[in-house]
Structure 1
Amino acid sequence: MYPNPRAVILALILGATSLSFAGVSLAGETAHQHGAAEHELQLNAGEKWATDAPLRKAMGALNGAMQASLPAIHDHQLDDAQYEQLAVRINDEVAYMVKHCKLEPEADAQLHLIIAELLAGADSMAGKTPDQARRNGAVKVLGALQSYAEYFADSSFETIQH
């Protein structure tokens, strides 16, 4: 039996995030005693984090997919199958990011926080979190996209207005 590719990707992301945070946290605690602040999104010395072409491509595709679905989400017209299709799209784009994106370690650690929100939202949209409505997963994904716009330098990314 082969492992679920999504589970492998999630394990890699979470493992890399943990390792990234361990290094950042140790360095940060020694120099600045930041502690828990290391696990929150933050700017790069007041500036947005650099991006690369694969990241911009994947986030642009996610943004476009959510933008196209937003009217149906707002009107409670997106059915379960459509939420599931959107969740698959999110997982596919995240997998593309993980495979192709090459950021500096600090930027990568920040991106993993956004990826975690995207995946959590996709799980809810796919009906994998029974205590959460699928629509709430879409809201979580929209929040992750907003965070990307706030913390990453991507002039081609247009924030969704809703």
Structure 2
Amino acid sequence: MMKPSLLPLISAAMFSLVLSVAPSALAAEHSHHHEESTMTLDQGKKWPIDESLHTGMAGIKKLMSVAIGDIHHHKFTAEKYRNLADELQGQLDFIFKNCNLPPAADGQLHILLSGMLRGVEQMKAHENARGGAIKIMKALHAYPEYFADGNWQ
């Protein structure tokens, strides 16, 4: 387990790394100071999706790809974070309302989306809003690793 005194330094380094990637990549890993449920594959295979999940996730990816440059260059104000969080929440609400996956796949999706929900809440409260953006990007990075979205780019 990581010593708590090293966490801010490591988190800051990882945050810089995340925000330095190309916006189209939207991919990063960073350290966590809390336990999260671990996603798994379906006996080595990716979980099935439906069209509404693809639509919602693509909407989230588009919103983040538009915002990432300004976030990286510290041009995102508290108001911009709140507006982005509201738009992201709309996409998440769409997924929750319309997505219909088999129970095991749905359970894995809830693990993925829980990180996004925490990120959205951080952005709305402006408590480490950039950290909230990282949570969203991390989930976007994990999505194609665990879900069989043939149209994900």
Which TM class, normalised by the smaller chain length?
0.7 to 0.9
**What does residue range 136-147 of structure 1 map to in structure 2 within 5 Å?**
136-147=131-142
Secondary structure (helix, strand or coil) at the match of 1:50 reads coil
In structure 2, the residue matched to 1:54 is: 52
- Identity among equivalent positions (%) equals 32
In structure 2, the residue matched to 1:44 is: 42
Shift of 1:66: 0.2
In structure 2, the residue matched to 1:73 is: 71
Give the Cα–Cα distance (whole angstroms) in 1 for the partners of residues 94 and 115 of structure 2.
Answer: 16
Shift of 1:149: 1.6
Q: TM-score, normalised by structure 1?
A: 0.69
In structure 1, the residue matched to 2:13 is: none
4+ runs deviating over 6 angstroms: none
Which of 128, 151, 156 in structure 1 is aligned with 2:146? 151
In structure 2, the residue matched to 1:99 is: 97
Shift of 1:155: 2.1
* Structure 1 unmatched runs, 5+: 1-38
Residue 81 of structure 1 aligns with an amino acid whose one-letter code is: E
Shift of 1:156: 1.9
Deviations 1:58-107 (A, max 9, x none): 00000000001010011111111111111111111111111110000000
In structure 2, the residue matched to 1:88 is: 86
Task: Give the alignment's Cα RMSD to 1 decimal.
Answer: 1.1
**What does residue range 7-26 of structure 1 map to in structure 2 within 5 Å?**
none
Give the Cα–Cα distance (whole angstroms) in 1 for the partners of residues 71 and 97 of structure 2.
Answer: 30
In structure 2, the residue matched to 1:115 is: 113
